[in-house]
Structure 1
């Protein structure tokens, strides 16, 4: 999301392409080979500058996995931002992403947000058609519940391989939901119960957007809980010979759902700080995982 310059209509230039190249190379050097896009990021410029780097780097496309998302329409004139999972829109947006990314095929296409007006049969057929045409290899969803995924699966013959949700040590409702059952706090969770279990049961990989919690534990601490968690992350990182960013990602990866963090930064230094999450298995004990959780929530578990 950070590639391509500003969010307005200002065209990107050589500086933005060079910035994208530096981010991509740092990721590759750090063991990261999956790149997550969306057609709306920087109004398409994020995909476009990435495509420029692919064009100037022979052989790079074969070394990486390209994932993008469609389904959100940004505000335009008198129209507010809205969601659109009609078949024609999905097909058009996928083709536009292919053009911007300068590739013949997308490895993964995610549906970015649920569209309440979408006919699941029409949406499912749109995915099947893109697969038959050889334009998309695999599909998934983003910000959807287990029930929504189950309905979509009934209307397409392509497997859904991923569900991307906001998940981090700061955004904990996905894990809190599982332990607040039969407590007064359960109604305040808001997370769709059973979604993690559904994804596990059906082999749908959970991807965590916002995995670094927007820096709330690694430089932007404001609350007592955030400051205490930041101190704990630093202590654990020093003991394990890694970085606080890696500890944050290990906390997600340690979960049995095999959560794949999306680190969402274009800064090479920040990408490099996450390298051990790609190069080493999570080195958090059962107890360390829980201490991080309880420290971040600022209260004991029920």
Structure 2
């Protein structure tokens, strides 16, 4: 702890009506509640970095008061809940064991788990389990432009947008800085709800007016002009396309690997204990 913080602690201690500078295990005691002690090092561990001297004084005072209240409440709880002590101690012991075990497992997984998932593995899993990936919401593929509705080249822009020619699409992409927002990648599947939130003008239309394949929509509002082409639609309960579901499949494969690895670790640990006579059944 730097000298300025030590100085602040000394000031606080002197300001206290019970200033008792105590040293225990070579550490300065900052506060005491019954047989519990708060040490200088405890304050150092929680003090935010780069805090000003004035803020440090307030922070330390509040921390000491909070610590004291917790100790007093804990003391009263231990006195008044003596009948529950055994069950509480078991809960604490169980939690401590679980915390250690899970932390150790996570460390082993982090060190040993193969996190590489190939395209072939994803495709094989999808082919074997595609019926499990039914959609619970509509998906669309689309391109759109949102731009100024008063632009002088509106007719030309609409013509370019409706065209299927690559050179016309390239022309639109080269002018993308003119648009308020846009999407030209109509190979990506998008949730219909996300689309509706992004393009507010669609909220005025019925869903069945929008969710049509090869559907062109031209819509204006007070802010601008929307040009939208719905390339393709997938409805609820249809099978999700592999491109859309790939991140989910990857997580499923990794989770299965993780569980298999943990089972193997547990079996090997048990077998080693039996082999080395560290575990015996009676």
The TM-score normalised by the length of structure 2 is 0.21
Greater length-normalized contact order (CA 8 Å, ≥ 6 residues apart): 2
User: When you count helix as a share of all residues, which structure comes out higher?
Assistant: 2
The TM-score normalised by the length of structure 1 is 0.20
Please identify the structure whose Cα radius of gyration is greater.
Answer: 2
